[in-house]
Amino acid sequence: MSIETAQVLIEVTVPQPSILPPQSNNIRLISTAISSHLLKTTVEIQANLANVLLDQTVELFKQNNFDGFEQAKVPDEYIQETYKNEIHSKIKNYFFHHIVIDFLMTEVFNNKIILVNYPRLNAVEMLPDKRLHYHFDLSIVDPIEMKEWKHFAFRSPKRKKYKDLDKQVIAFIENRQNQTKKIQANVIEENDWICFSAQMLNKENDQLSSNLCGLFWLHISPYEVPEPFIKQVLGRKLDESLLTTYLTTNDHDFKHEGASYNFLITIKSIVKGGHFSIDIFKTTFKLKNKADVHNKLMEVFSFRNDISQRRSIIEEVFYLLLSKHRFEVPKHLVLRREEEIVESLSHQSDYHVYKAQKDFSEYVEALAEKQLKEEIIIDQIAYNESLKVDIKDIAQYLHLLCNKRLKEFIYFKPLLARIEGTGCPINNNILTRAIQREKTLNYIIHSLTK
C-alpha cells in the first residue's frame, strides 16, 4: 500500500525535521513529543474510507435471522443500533490489522525513525463523524554519530578443521538438491510460505476502495491454518487469484461461524518449505561460487562450546561496533524490553526453572540492554546506508527460516515467536522490521570480511 493512495492520516508533531514525511492531501504526520524518547502518535482513518467498511459490515450482519423482518428488508439503522458494539469492534480490528499497523511501520522506515520496542497501542476510538483514531506510544532514541566502521579491523572467528564437517556440508547440499527435484517451484504446497494481496470485495464480488487492500505472508501448515483456506490455496500458482471468505488475522476469527468479508486473493510470492536453493543462498550472502557456498554453510555446522561459528562471528561484530560507539539506553526502555523477554520465556516449559535462579533478574536485564543496543546500532547503519527491504529480501529470510539447519543463520529472532505457529497472516511490514535488521547485519559482516 503506497502512502500516496492510502486514505490514512497519521498525526505526529516532532521537533526533529528529519522524521517529517512529505505532506499530501490524504496524509499528514503530526506528532506530540512527550519527551526526547516518547512520541504520542495518532493514526486516523478518514470517515469516507471508514464508511465504505461500515456499509460492508452492516451487509454481513444482515445475513443473521431477525424476528419481524424479511432478511433482505432489515433497515441499516436497525442493524447499526442493534449490533453497534460488534460492528465497531469488527471495523476497528479490520483497519488495525489490514492498514494501520502496516502504514505506521512504513512511516517509521521511510522517515528513518530509530524505533525502540514495538509501537504500543493505547486506545482506539470511533468519533461521531465515523473517523477512527488509533493512539500509539512510540519509543525512540536519538541518532548515533557513526564512525567509519567499514575500516575497523575485524578478525573473523575460525571454523573447526574436522574433515567430517566438510562431509556433512556436502551431504546437506546433495540431500537438499535431490529434494528440490521433487518440488513444484511455482505451485503452492504444504509447508510453503506465501505472500498474497487481499483486496476486499462487496457481496457482488466487485472491488471496493483500493485502500481496503493489504499485503500478507502466511505459512501453509495444516496444523495452523483453517482447512477450508488450505484447500483453496493448495495447488495455486504464482500470480493466480481466487475468491475467499476465510481470510483472518486473529485466532478468534477462525472460530467465528458468522458471515465474513469477501476477498480477492492474489499470490505474489511462494517460498518453498524445507527447500534449499543455492541461487537464493548465494544472493542472500553475496557468494560467488561453490567454495563460497561451502564455507558459508560451514558457519552453521562448526560449533565450539555449543556456539556456532555463525553466532561467534555475529557476537564479535557487535562487540566491535559497540566498543567503538559508546551510548546508553534509557532505563524505562530497558524495562519495557525486560517485560517482553519474561513474557516470551513464560511460554517455555523450563520457565519456572529459569526464574528460580538467583541471577535471573540480572540476566534478563543484561539481555534486554544487549538486544536494544544491537538493534539501535543496526537501525542506524541501515538508515545511513539506505538499505531497503523488498519482497525478495523477505523470501530470502523465510527461505532460511524454513530449514532447521539454515535457521541458525537468522539472528534477529524476536519476531519469530510472533509468527511461528500462529496460523494467522502476517503484515508485510511487520516482517520487514526484522528483515531490515537481518539484511543490515549480513551487509556489515560482508563489508568487514571481504
Question: Is residue 142 classed as helix, strand or coil in its secondary structure?
Answer: coil
Look at residues 119, 145, 445 and name the one whose alpha carbon lies nearest to residue 299: 445
Contact assessment for residue 275 and residue 179, using Cβ atoms and an 8 Å cutoff? yes
Look at residues 86, 91, 424 and name the one whose alpha carbon lies nearest to residue 258: 86
Q: For residue 115, what pLDDT band results from cuts at 50, 70 and 90?
A: very high
| pLDDT above 50: residue 232 | yes
How many angstroms separate the CA atoms of 437 and 412, rounded?
7
- Give yes or no: residues 130 and 16 share one domain: yes
Q: Residue 348: inside a domain, yes or no?
A: no
Dihedral angle over CA of 344, 349, 350, 352, nearest 10? 80
Q: Residue 26 has what pLDDT?
A: 37
Among 4-13, 404-413, 440-449, which range has the highest average pLDDT? Answer: 440-449
Q: Residue 224: inside a domain, yes or no?
A: yes
- Give yes or no: residues 153 and 131 share one domain: no
Task: Indicate which CATH number applies to the domain containing 81.
Answer: 3.30.70.1050
Q: Residue 61 has what pLDDT?
A: 82
How many angstroms separate the CA atoms of 27 and 217, rounded?
26
Q: Residue 415 has what pLDDT?
A: 56
pLDDT per residue as tens digits for the range 52-110: 999 999 888 877 666 556 655 778 888 888 888 888 988 998 888 888 888 888 888 88
Q: Residue 7 has what pLDDT?
A: 42
pLDDT per residue as tens digits for the range 148-182: 999 999 999 999 988 899 999 999 998 887 777 77
Q: For residue 30, what pLDDT band results from cuts at 50, 70 and 90?
A: low
Look at residues 184, 196, 183 and name the one whose alpha carbon lies nearest to residue 225: 196
Q: For residue 235, what pLDDT band results from cuts at 50, 70 and 90?
A: very high
How many angstroms separate the CA atoms of 116 and 340, rounded?
12
Cα-flanking dihedrals φ and ψ of residue 426, to 5°? -110, 130
Using a 10 angstrom Cβ sphere, with 0-12 exposed, 13-18 middle and 19 or more buried, the burial of residue 206 is exposed
The least confident of 109-118, 185-194, 344-353, 416-425 is: 416-425
Domain boundary, last residue among 98, 122, 139 = 139
CA–CA distance from 359 to each of 17, 363, 400 (Å)? 43, 6, 34
Domain count, the chain: 2
Q: Residue 420 has what pLDDT?
A: 55
- Give yes or no: residues 73 and 88 share one domain: yes
Domain boundary, last residue among 139, 170, 197 = 139
| pLDDT above 90: residue 370 | yes
Cα dihedral sign for 183, 184, 186, 189? negative
Output the average pLDDT for the chain.
Answer: 84
Contact assessment for residue 252 and residue 271, using Cβ atoms and an 8 Å cutoff? no
Q: For residue 224, what pLDDT band results from cuts at 50, 70 and 90?
A: confident
Q: Residue 376: inside a domain, yes or no?
A: no
Give the helix/strand (H/E) hosting 215: strand 213-219
Amino acid making up residue 288: K
- Give yes or no: residues 314 and 238 share one domain: yes
Look at residues 1, 9, 42 and name the one whose alpha carbon lies nearest to residue 25: 9
Q: For residue 254, what pLDDT band results from cuts at 50, 70 and 90?
A: very low
How many angstroms separate the CA atoms of 423 and 441, rounded?
28
Q: Across residues 314-325, what is the average pLDDT?
A: 97
Q: Which residue has the higher pLDDT, 192 or 253?
A: 192
| pLDDT above 70: residue 419 | no
Q: For residue 234, what pLDDT band results from cuts at 50, 70 and 90?
A: very high
Q: Residue 423 has what pLDDT?
A: 60
Look at residues 144, 148, 122, 143 and name the one whose alpha carbon lies nearest to residue 134: 122
Q: Residue 299 has what pLDDT?
A: 96
Contact assessment for residue 230 and residue 310, using Cβ atoms and an 8 Å cutoff? no
Number of Cβ within 10 Å of residue 315's Cβ equals 15
pLDDT per residue as tens digits for the range 171-217: 999 888 777 777 888 899 998 999 999 999 988 889 888 888 889 99
Contact assessment for residue 437 and residue 379, using Cβ atoms and an 8 Å cutoff? yes
* Furthest-apart CA atoms within the chain: distance in Å: 82
- Give yes or no: residues 81 and 160 share one domain: no
- Give yes or no: residues 117 and 154 share one domain: no
Q: Across residues 28-33, what is the average pLDDT?
A: 64
How do 213-219 and 32-35 pair as beta strands? unpaired
Name the percent of the chain lying above pLDDT 90.
47
How many angstroms separate the CA atoms of 420 and 224, rounded?
9
Q: Which residue has the higher pLDDT, 249 or 133?
A: 133
Give the helix/strand (H/E) hosting 134: strand 132-139
Q: Across residues 357-386, what is the average pLDDT?
A: 95
Look at residues 406, 420, 415, 417 and name the one whose alpha carbon lies nearest to residue 436: 415
Q: Residue 251 has what pLDDT?
A: 40
Name the percent of the chain lying above pLDDT 70.
86
Q: Residue 368: inside a domain, yes or no?
A: no
Range of the domain at 322: 144-327+385-450
| pLDDT above 70: residue 5 | no
Q: Across residues 336-346, what is the average pLDDT?
A: 90
Look at residues 94, 88, 93, 99 and name the one whose alpha carbon lies nearest to residue 9: 99
| pLDDT above 90: residue 27 | no
Q: Residue 422 has what pLDDT?
A: 55
Q: Across residues 378-385, what is the average pLDDT?
A: 96
- Give yes or no: residues 156 and 111 share one domain: no
Tell the residue number behind the cell numbers 465504505, with chain if given: 52
| pLDDT above 70: residue 12 | no
Q: How far is CA 370 from the centre of its chain?
A: 21
- Give yes or no: residues 183 and 264 share one domain: yes
Cα-flanking dihedrals φ and ψ of residue 351, to 5°? -55, -45
Number of Cβ within 10 Å of residue 366's Cβ equals 13
- Give yes or no: residues 179 and 98 share one domain: no
Q: Across residues 15-25, what is the average pLDDT?
A: 33
- Give yes or no: residues 101 and 36 share one domain: yes
- Give yes or no: residues 149 and 212 share one domain: yes
